[in-house]
Amino acid sequence: MLDVYLRITTILVVALLFGGMVLFSGGFAAFLFRYLPPADARMLIRKVFPPFYLFVIASSGLAAGLSVVSDSFTAVWMAVVMLSTVAARQLLMPAINRATDLGYKTRFVWLHGFSVLLTLGHIVVAAVVLVHLVR
């Protein structure tokens, strides 16, 4: 019976991760840039990203931990999301901020583009894991 509760909890955690990433990436960020002046939107985004990354790290780590004994597919992919998000938070985000602060527009475009692709990849992985869990 514990297996069932762990699986249900894992499903809910991965669903929260998926929904949170989609809402933040597709909704919140777009909303800010639509309704705030660009400078204010950029400043707010810069402040919101560290907690967003912590949310992704914590929820993917929790999903990996919950599934480590019973579902290696979920555990591995959630660990990949967690570890790559740690790298994004500690290395990529500061590099993007530095490029912005120093006016390195080309560098910013490349780094930001990579971060967008990484986040989209995380969303796809969460969706695949979620489908795997509920089938």
* Per-residue pLDDT tens over the stretch 83-122: 999 999 999 999 999 999 999 999 999 999 999 999 999 9
Domain count, the chain: 1
Q: Over 80: is that where the pLDDT of 2 sits?
A: no
Among the listed residues 86, 68, 87, 84, the one whose alpha carbon sits nearest the alpha carbon of residue 76: 68
- pLDDT digits 0-9 by tens, 38-92: 999 999 999 999 999 999 999 999 999 999 999 999 999 999 999 999 999 999 9
Among the listed residues 32, 125, 26, the one whose alpha carbon sits nearest the alpha carbon of residue 81: 125
Per-residue pLDDT, 95? 98
- pLDDT digits 0-9 by tens, 13-38: 999 999 999 999 889 988 998 999 99
Q: Which residues contact 119 (CB under 8 A, 6 or more apart)?
A: 21, 25
Q: Which domain holds residue 31?
A: 2-133
Q: What is the pTM of this model?
A: 0.94
